[in-house]
């Protein structure tokens, strides 16, 4: 269809028959009037100057005229004429009442300042469009005539300002404001639809170290890469936001399966812990994750966010690089942790710490070549507190620095009295290693004790080397220059690069104890990994050490794989300094391996009270030996094999199980659905009783509270009598809830 001439575009019925203004009109206006030709010339100048553009359609909404400036910016040519206007332009986002441009034109009503944009994604054009309907002498609708102003720059500026108000300028992720809005709107919508959603809180481990050593520019590059990896890990299942600094959030709708959520958290931690390349060098950081699920852990945003924060705090204090689900018990855990920090500070002042020493034995001749220092804390109320319990608290509060300094002084003084061929080994916390003046402190300790530096072995966690910065390299080089022996601890649990291993001044690799933990082992696969580590160490001129070895068959396999040194109960438990002195009186210290069952890894057995539900009866029983697939329960007699019931673990956790074996008052049960990892070494059910279901039964909609546990019994302590398990629906309940 050909284009209508511009001169005909705005002719009204009168203008078409009255080409020239009448003289009396000029006199009435006290001056000459412009002819229509002159008027059109002015409009033409406006159009050519880009000050205003014009458009027109026929009765069917097809373009009869479009200013050349619009056509040019649309990236189209004269074929725009004859096409429906709505195929060329569309309403801009957020404009109008939701109706399309076609519907707007279909009303045949005048409109003003309607913001439209090019329908072609390749064009950035934005116009403010006005138009009015045109009728002929027979009052028949003949189309629209209108004008347009180019507001592209203004619109895009406003759009960018709006985006910056919603999104983080550095990473492009949603910012705190947008995340708060999204959480509020999601919770409100899901509450009425009785749907669940999950909030993850993330905090980067060792990010401050990167900022301090490589600079803020490197930190910004790192955050941008973290955002990309985090978005990839979530894979469109939810919205990712950055709250500021190194804090991130992930909102995942319609997911409350803690097994699936745990896998997502593990994926996030793994991906964010891989090496990063920035202009100033290479670095490795970590990530801790806290998880809260609505409505189980919170119904309102503030409640859910606080729950996720508490879970994040627990994951960081548990050793970092972990995830943790919120549970009502975390409220109590936080108070206990605060009290332990206070007690640790007092223990430093009052000298409550001692050291024990675990023999490290050469596999070739069973000769003790080193003694590993192990922290011991004897507290008045708690009694003996295991290092696995208090060291994470000490590290999180930085009390590990004074505790570690005391331990280094004590260990070097003790070792000075031992034979010269015997080393002392001690684990160094990342907090200690990165503290100012660490190398000077080591030099001072060696000088005061008189210990040969070659007899001091420092176990360095992989997380120290993963930082891989100039500062870490400088400390390692200085320690090596002192003559101290450096060993990479728990190798195989992190992501230390082979290129870094080749240039780091390490003497040995201590293989991660996870490979030898019977509860975590894939025996064939783990032995292949150990073999690969031993081969790698040998190729780089390093020795290997395996810790946590408790059985002769495992010892024999490690010998076959050419592991150089072993420690564990297969040789000896940890010894006091006096016991070490007695053992050394005999000269060369050789320990024959043994499979003595009395020298198993020390475990404190705690029996937890839970509920057992069968038909309409509720019983209190004792849970023990919990695994993913089943458990041992104690406290009922007369329970037949094959019967099904429900275990109530508290906090809405119910597990259907079947009795597989019976021994008097104790039953072995198998779960219908396996339990899943809770991120802290424990197990939880995949799902919980929904607060929506409880609300339907008349309970106010609220987060699940902590389960009611009736107490604990010490190992070996048993009730005098046990209640009889009833199969009769009419039998009275043992206890009612």
pLDDT, tens digit, 9 for 90 and up, residues 519-556:
444 454 578 888 999 999 999 999 999 998 888 988 99
Tokens 């400036």 belong to residue = 69
Query: What 3 state SS string does 204-247 have?
Result: EECHHHHHHHHCHHHHHHHHHHHHHHHHHHHCCCCEEEEEECCE
- Span 344-365, mean pLDDT? 94
CA distance 371 to 419: 12
Whether the pLDDT of residue 376 is over 50: the answer is: yes
pLDDT at 709: 33
Q: Choose between 284 and 418: higher pLDDT.
A: 418
Torsion over CA: 631, 632, 635, 639 (sign): positive
Most confident of 148-162, 248-262, 311-325, 687-701: 248-262
pLDDT at 104: 86
- Compute the mean pLDDT over every residue in the chain, rounded to the nearest whole number: 84
Largest CA distance in the chain: 134
Whether the pLDDT of residue 730 is over 90: the answer is: no
Q: Choose between 72 and 311: higher pLDDT.
A: 311
pLDDT at 357: 97
pLDDT at 96: 66
pLDDT at 713: 33
Q: Are 80 and 67 in contact (CB under 8 A)?
A: no
Tell which residue, 155, 176, 261, 272, has the closest CA to residue 224. 272
pLDDT at 725: 56
Q: pLDDT-based confidence at 406, cuts 50/70/90?
A: very high
Q: Are 304 and 190 in contact (CB under 8 A)?
A: no
Whether the pLDDT of residue 336 is over 70: the answer is: yes
pLDDT at 722: 46
Token readout for 424 is 């002392």
Q: Choose between 637 and 522: higher pLDDT.
A: 637
CA angle 633–638–642, rounded 5-degree value? 70
Determine if the pTM surpasses 0.75. Answer: no
Whether the pLDDT of residue 600 is over 60: the answer is: no
CA distance 224 to 246: 11
Whether the pLDDT of residue 699 is over 90: the answer is: no
Q: Are 467 and 206 in contact (CB under 8 A)?
A: yes
Give percent of the chain with pLDDT exceeding 90: 50
Whether the pLDDT of residue 467 is over 60: the answer is: no
CA distance 229 to 231: 5
Tell which residue, 335, 294, 330, has the closest CA to residue 311. 330
Q: Choose between 18 and 139: higher pLDDT.
A: 139
Whether the pLDDT of residue 143 is over 80: the answer is: yes
Q: Give 377's strand partners.
A: 353, 385
Q: pLDDT-based confidence at 12, cuts 50/70/90?
A: very low
- CA gyration radius, the chain: 38
- Span 487-514, mean pLDDT? 80
pLDDT at 517: 60
Most confident of 180-189, 330-339, 679-688, 721-730: 180-189
Domains of the chain: 6-158 (3.30.450.20), 167-327 (3.30.70.270), 334-599 (3.20.20.450), 607-713 (2.40.10)
Tell which residue, 618, 572, 616, 575, has the closest CA to residue 596. 572
pLDDT at 97: 64
- Span 154-180, mean pLDDT? 85
CA distance 633 to 81: 82
Whether the pLDDT of residue 605 is over 50: the answer is: no
Q: pLDDT-based confidence at 592, cuts 50/70/90?
A: very high
Please report how the helices 216-234 and 258-272 are oriented relative to each other, as an axis angle in degrees rounded to 10: 150
From the number of C-beta atoms within 10 Å of its C-beta (0-12, 13-18, 19+), residue 345 rates as middle
pLDDT in tens, 648-672: 998 899 999 999 999 988 999 999 9
- Span 495-499, mean pLDDT? 65
- How many helices (DSSP H) and strands (DSSP E) are in the chain? 24, 31
Q: pLDDT-based confidence at 233, cuts 50/70/90?
A: very high
Q: pLDDT-based confidence at 586, cuts 50/70/90?
A: confident
pLDDT at 737: 39
- Please spell the DSSP secondary structure of 632-651, one letter per residue: EEES-BSPPTT-EEEEEEET
Whether the pLDDT of residue 472 is over 50: the answer is: yes
Most confident of 148-162, 198-212, 305-319, 560-574: 560-574
Tell which residue, 140, 139, 92, has the closest CA to residue 118. 92
CA distance 636 to 725: 6
CA distance 207 to 202: 12
Give the lowest-confidence range in 149-153, 368-372, 605-609. 605-609
CA distance 576 to 14: 113
Q: Choose between 45 and 618: higher pLDDT.
A: 618
pLDDT in tens, 13-45: 334 334 433 444 444 455 566 666 766 666 666
Whether the pLDDT of residue 516 is over 80: the answer is: no
Q: Where would I find the beta strands (DSSP E) of 678-721?
A: 683-684, 712-713
Whether the pLDDT of residue 90 is over 60: the answer is: yes
Whether the pLDDT of residue 578 is over 80: the answer is: yes
């Amino acid at each position: 269809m050909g284009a209508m001439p511009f001169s005909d575009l705005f002719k009204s019925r009168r203008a078409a028959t009255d080409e020239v203004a009448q003289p009396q009109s000029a006199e009435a206006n006290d001056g000459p009037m412009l002819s229509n030709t002159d008027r059109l010339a002015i409009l033409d100048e406006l159009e050519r100057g880009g000050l205003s553009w014009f458009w027109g359609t026929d009765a069917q909404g097809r373009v009869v005229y479009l200013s050349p400036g619009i056509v040019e910016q649309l990236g189209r040519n004269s074929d725009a004429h004859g096409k429906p206007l709505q195929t060329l332009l569309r309403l801009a986002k957020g404009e109008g009442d939701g109706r399309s441009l076609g519907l707007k034109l279909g009303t045949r009503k005048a409109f003003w300042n309607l913001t439209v944009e090019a329908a072609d994604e390749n064009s950035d054009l934005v116009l403010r469009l006005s138009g009015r309907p045109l009728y002929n002498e027979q009052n028949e609708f003949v189309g629209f005539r209108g004008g347009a102003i180019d507001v592209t720059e203004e619109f895009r500026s406003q759009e960018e300002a709006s985006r910056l108000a919603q999104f983080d300028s550095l990473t492009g992720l949603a910012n705190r404001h947008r995340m708060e809005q999204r959480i509020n709107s999601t919770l409100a919508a899901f509450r009425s639809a009785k749907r669940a959603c999950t909030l993850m809180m993330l905090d980067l481990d060792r990010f401050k170290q990167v900022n301090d050593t490589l600079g803020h520019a490197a930190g910004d590059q790192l955050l941008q890469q973290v955002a990309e990896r985090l978005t990839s890990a979530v894979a469109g299942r939810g919205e990712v936001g950055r709250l500021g600094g190194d804090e991130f959030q992930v909102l995942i709708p319609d997911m409350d399966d803690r097994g699936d959520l745990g896998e997502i958290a593990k994926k996030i931690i793994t991906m964010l812990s891989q090496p990063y390349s920035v202009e100033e060098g290479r670095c490795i950081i970590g990530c801790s994750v806290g998880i809260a699920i609505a409505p189980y852990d919170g119904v309102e945003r503030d409640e859910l966010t606080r729950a996720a924060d508490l879970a994040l705090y627990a994951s960081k204090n548990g050793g970092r690089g972990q995830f943790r689900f919120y549970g009502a018990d975390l409220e109590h855990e936080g108070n206990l942790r605060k009290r332990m920090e206070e007690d640790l500070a007092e223990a430093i002042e009052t000298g409550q710490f001692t050291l024990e020493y675990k023999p490290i034995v050469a596999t070739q001749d069973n000769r003790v070549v080193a003694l590993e220092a192990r922290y011991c804390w004897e507290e008045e109320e708690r009694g003996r507190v295991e290092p696995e319990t208090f060291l994470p608290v000490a590290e999180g509060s930085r009390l590990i620095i004074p505790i570690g300094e005391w331990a280094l002084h004590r260990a070097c003084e003790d070792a000075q009295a031992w034979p010269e061929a015997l080393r002392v080994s001690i684990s160094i916390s990342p907090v200690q290693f990165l503290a100012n003046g660490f190398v000077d402190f080591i030099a001072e300790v060696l000088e005061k004790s008189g210990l040969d530096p070659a007899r001091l072995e420092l176990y360095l966690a992989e997380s120290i080397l993963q930082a891989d910065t100039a500062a870490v390299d400088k400390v390692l080089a200085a320690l090596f220059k002192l003559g101290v022996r450096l060993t990479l601890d728990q190798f195989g649990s992190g992501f230390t690069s082979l290129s870094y291993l080749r240039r780091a001044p390490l003497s040995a690799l201590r293989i991660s104890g996870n490979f030898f933990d019977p509860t975590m082992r894939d025996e064939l696969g783990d032995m292949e990994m150990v073999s690969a580590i031993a081969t790698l160490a040998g190729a780089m001129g390093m020795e290997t050490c395996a810790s946590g070895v408790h059985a002769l068959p495992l010892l024999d396999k490690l010998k076959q794989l050419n592991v150089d040194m072993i420690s564990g109960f297969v040789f000896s438990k940890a010894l006091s300094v006096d016991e070490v002195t007695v053992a050394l009186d005999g000269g060369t210290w050789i320990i024959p391996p043994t499979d003595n069952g009395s020298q198993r890894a020390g475990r404190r057995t705690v029996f937890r009270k839970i509920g057992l539900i069968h038909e309409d009866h509720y019983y209190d029983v004792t849970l023990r030996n919990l695994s993913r697939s089943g458990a041992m329960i104690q406290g009922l007699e007369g329970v037949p094999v094959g019967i099904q019931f429900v275990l109530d673990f508290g906090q809405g956790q119910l597990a259907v199980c079947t009795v597989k074996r019976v021994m008097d008052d104790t039953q072995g049960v198998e779960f219908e659905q396996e339990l899943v990892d809770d991120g802290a070494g424990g197990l939880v059910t995949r799902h919980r009783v929904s607060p929506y279901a409880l609300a339907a039964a008349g309970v106010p909609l609220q987060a699940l509270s902590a389960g009611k546990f009736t107490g604990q019994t010490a190992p070996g302590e048993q009730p005098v009598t046990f209640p009889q398990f009833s199969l009769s629906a009419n039998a009275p309940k043992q206890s009612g809830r």
